[in-house]
């Protein structure tokens, strides 16, 4: 039995956590004999938790250093969590993965795309998702949902930055067949049904 690797992407407050929770609940019901492993970036490993604190809460991190911190977190996650789980035939669901780096670091931070892709491929040993769910939301709505929350360093970036990130995500979706875009403003339950329909198509 082969493992299945599904990732969720989108700018902040797009509803990834809610839809992941709903998907996991549905998968447990439909596939009771399959082990489901949830992961996230950054911070899914012991090392990752330390890196997450630096990435999200340290001030004035340069764009290049930020990239390297994310890739270190990802390399550890791939080796300690993702590959072992997929090797066991698990259904693996991750909140963020490689597309976050392309959207945030290439489009948002304007780092060289070719260089970032080469480094990302090295960090992941070429591991790609079978399916990526991109929850698309406007920057205005994202900022609205952040009001009253304790925003981290990245969440405090300006609207222009997030417009670039959103555009970066939509470009990825245009270029990559594995990426399916969903309107994150849609009814939550209807959205979860639509997501499950796509997920079911890659289940093996």
Q: What is the pLDDT of residue 1?
A: 53
Question: Which DSSP state fits 134?
Answer: E
Quick: pLDDT tens for 116-171.
999 999 999 999 999 999 999 999 999 999 887 888 888 888 999 999 999 999 99
- How far apart CA 36 and CA 84 sit, in angstroms, is 12
Q: Residue 26 burial by CB count (10 A; 0-12/13-18/19+): exposed, middle or buried?
A: middle
Q: Where are the domains of the chain?
A: 4-200
Q: What is the pLDDT of residue 183?
A: 97
Angle between helices 139-146 and 159-175 (to 10 degrees): 130
What is the three-class DSSP state of 42? Answer: coil
pTM: 0.95
What is the three-class DSSP state of 91? Answer: strand
CA atoms within 13 A on the CB side of 46: 1
Quick: pLDDT tens for 80-119.
999 999 999 999 999 999 999 999 999 999 999 999 999 9
Give the residue-averaged pLDDT of 4-29: 97
Query: Domain spanning 4-200: which CATH class is it, in words?
Result: alpha beta
Chain-centroid distance, C-alpha 72: 16
Give the residue-averaged pLDDT of 8-13: 96
């Amino acid at each position: 039995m082969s493992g299945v690797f599904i990732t969720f992407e989108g700018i902040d407050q797009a509803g990834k956590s809610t839809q992941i929770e709903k998907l996991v609940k549905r998968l447990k019901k439909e596939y009771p004999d399959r082990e489901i492993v949830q992961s996230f970036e950054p911070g899914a490993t012991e090392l990752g938790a330390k890196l997450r604190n630096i990435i999200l809460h340290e001030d004035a991190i340069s764009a290049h250093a930020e990239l390297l911190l994310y890739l270190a977190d990802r390399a550890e996650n791939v080796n300690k969590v993702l590959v072992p789980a997929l090797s066991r035939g698990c259904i693996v669901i991750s909140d963020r993965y490689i597309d976050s780096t392309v959207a945030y670091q290439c489009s948002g931070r304007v780092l060289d795309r070719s260089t970032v892709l080469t480094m990302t491929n090295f960090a992941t040993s070429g591991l790609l998702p079978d399916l990526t769910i991109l929850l698309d939301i406007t920057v205005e709505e994202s900022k609205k949902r952040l009001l009253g929350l304790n925003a981290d360093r990245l969440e405090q970036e300006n609207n222009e930055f997030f417009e670039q990130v959103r555009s970066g995500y939509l470009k990825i979706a245009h270029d990559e067949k594995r990426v399916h875009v969903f309107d994150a403003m849609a009814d939550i339950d209807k959205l979860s049904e639509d997501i499950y329909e796509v997920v079911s198509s890659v289940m093996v």
